[in-house]
A and B are shown apart, each in its own frame.
Chain A
Amino acid sequence: MTATSPTDVPAPDLATEGSEWLTRIARSAEAVVIPLIAMVSAAVLFSIFLLFLGKSPVEFFNLLWVGGYGSAFSWTNTLVRAGPLIFTALCVAIPARLGIVVIGGEGALVLGGFTAAAIAIPFLGWGAPWLIQAVMFVTAAAVGAAWIGFVGVLRHYRGVNETIASLLLFYIAVAIMNFFVEGALRDPGNPNKPSTPAIGDANMVGDIPGTDIHWGLVFAIVLAIAVWVLMNRTRFGFAARITGGNVRAARAQGLPVGRLVVVSCAIAGACAGLAGFFEVAAIQGRANASLAAGYGFTGILVAFLARQNPLAIIPVAIFLGGIAAAGGLVQRRMGMPDATVQVLQGLMFVVLLVSETLYGRLPFFRGKR
Chain B
Amino acid sequence: MEADSNLTIVLLAMLAGAIRVSTPFLFVSLGECLTEKSGRINLGLEGTLVFGAMTAYAISYHSGSPWLGVLVAGFAGSLFGALHGYICKLPRVNDIAIGIALMLFGTGLAFFLGKAYIQPQAPRLPSIQLGGWSDNAQVQSALQINPLFLVGIALAVFLWWAFRNTRWGLIVRMTGDSAPAALAMGYSVNWVRFTATTVGGFCAGVGGAFLSLYYPGSWSEGLSSGQGLMAVALVIFARWNPLACFGAALLFGAAGALGPALQSIGVTQGYYFFNAAPYVLTLLIMIASTSPKRSLKGAPGELSITK
Contact = CB atoms under 8 A, between A and B. Distances in A.
Interface of A: 101, 103, 154, 156-161, 163-165, 167-169, 171-172, 175-176, 178-179, 182-183, 297, 300-301, 304, 336-340, 342-343, 345-347, 349-350, 352-354, 356-357, 359
Contacts of B233: 161, 164, 168
Contacts of B286: 154, 158, 160-161, 164-165
Contacts of A163: 43, 96, 100, 305
Contacts of B93: 353-354, 356-357
Given A101-B96, A346-B105, A353-B93, A337 B292 contact: no
Interface of B: 43, 83, 87, 90-94, 96-98, 100-102, 104-109, 111-112, 115, 225-226, 229-230, 232-233, 236, 269-273, 275-276, 279-280, 282-283, 286-287, 290-293, 305
B106 A171 contact: no
A164 B104 contact: no
B interface, over-half SS: helix
A357 B232 CA distance: 26
13 contacts: A159-B291, A160-B287, A161-B236, A164-B229, A171-B226, A172-B280, A345-B108, A349-B105, A350-B105, A352-B101, A353-B87, A354-B90, A356-B90
A342 B305 CA distance: 27
Given A160-B287, A347-B105, A342 B112 contact: yes
A346 B109 contact: yes
Contact of B87 (A156, A171, A183, A350): A350
Given A342-B112, A357-B91, A101 B104 contact: no
A156 B111 CA distance: 36
Given A157-B292, A350-B105, A175 B96 contact: no
Nearest to B104: A346
A147 B229 CA distance: 19
Nearest to A171: B279
Contacts of A165: 283, 286
A350 B276 contact: no
Nearest to A344: B108
Q: Which 3 A-B pairs have the closest CB atoms?
A: A346-B105, A342-B108, A175-B276
Contacts of A158: 286-287, 290-292
A300 B108 CA distance: 15
A281 to B, nearest CB: 24
Nearest to A160: B286
Given A164-B232, A359-B92, A297 B104 contact: yes
Contacts of A156: 292
Given A168-B282, A169-B283, A175 B275 contact: yes
Nearest to A177: B272
Contact of B283 (A172, A339, A349, A357): A172
Contacts of B94: 353, 356
Nearest to B43: A163
Contacts of A354: 87, 90, 93
Contacts of A336: 112
B97 A353 contact: yes
A163 B275 CA distance: 22
